[in-house]
Amino acid sequence: MGEPFASIERATGVGASCEAQLKALIAARRLLAGDRLPPERELAARLDVSRGTLRGALQSLADQGVLAARQGSGWVVTPRPDVVAVNLAVYLSLEEVTFDQLFAARRAIEPHAAAEAARHRSEEQLEALHRCTKVMQGARDVAAYVRADADFHAMVTAASGNPLFSVMLAPTLDLLGAMRADVAAHSEVTAASHREHDHILAALVAGDPDAAQEAMLAHIDHFVASGRRVLADGQPPRPAPMADLERART
């Protein structure tokens, strides 16, 4: 394999060009997760940039969840989906994404992720989901319930085997945090949610993609209808009539 690093052109921003070159090498799989970069002094010489400029580019990539600085190892390629998700949540919050847009994203992501999870889940993942439902059912306050609920949905997307589902779902759940807490404050909603989670889990245990997809869709649509009631009048949401769920699906 030839020299992967090339001198940075001075016609463009030097720091941005350093970032772009390193990202391109990762995208081309010439740098893989776990690979160590050359020491800063050596890498700066190979890129023909100052160490200060290089360090700024490396730190920017670390902030984006691409690299990590490890004691004794220097800079290591370490993709961090959690950091990517946080950055995406910040972007979405600046874009003032609406309630309906967030739930449209959930409806696009989670039912398909549940179907894939029914195909690919492991026994360990099923056990983790079982534990998560028990935590939800035993939660003593809304905050604990919302955390366990988020963990359940994160575990389902992880079980799908597609990491993009997880990256896309995490910021969506984060931005819906306040709404999810408001809705979950009502026992009739959480009681229905317990049943819906059980249906989702049963479909995953059975390895039934169609049932998992339908169960997840019904769960999301019920929560949408409850959330709309909270937004509309601030009154305690009632279990959603089937007519509301049918409208939410259109």
pLDDT digits (tens, 9 = 90+) for 56-74: 999 988 887 888 888 877 9
170: number of Cβ within 10 Å: 21
- 3-state helix vs strand vs coil in the chain, percent to 5: 70, 5, 25
For the stretch 67-83, what's the b/e string if a residue is b when 16 or more beta carbons lie within 10 angstroms of its beta carbon? bbeeeeebbbbbbeeeb
Helices (H) and strands (E) in the chain, counts: 12, 2
With contact defined as beta carbons under 8 Å apart, do 203 and 212 qualify? Answer: yes
Listed range (42-56, 78-92, 201-215) with the worst mean pLDDT: 78-92
104 neighbors 172 (Cβ within 8 angstroms):
no
pLDDT band at 240 (very low <50, low <70, confident <90, very high): very low
Cβ 67 vs Cβ 76: under 8 Å: yes
Compute the distance between CA of residue 77 and CA of residue 66 in angstroms, rounded to an integer.
6
What fold does the segment set 83-249 form as a domain?
Answer: Four Helix Bundle (Hemerythrin (Met), subunit A) (1.20.120)
CATH class of 14-79: mainly alpha
**pLDDT above 80 (res 39):** yes
Residue 241, pLDDT > 60, answer: no
Q: Assess whether pLDDT exceeds 70 at residue 249.
A: no
pLDDT(132) > 80: yes
Domain-wise residue ranges, the chain: 14-79, 83-249
**Structure tokens of 226?**
């409850």
Q: Tell me the longest C-alpha to C-alpha distance in the chain.
A: 67
Note the pLDDT of residue 116.
Answer: 97
Rounded to the nearest angstrom, the gap between the alpha carbon of residue 203 and the centroid of all alpha carbons in its chain is 22
Which of 22, 20, 23 has the alpha carbon at shortest distance from 40? 22
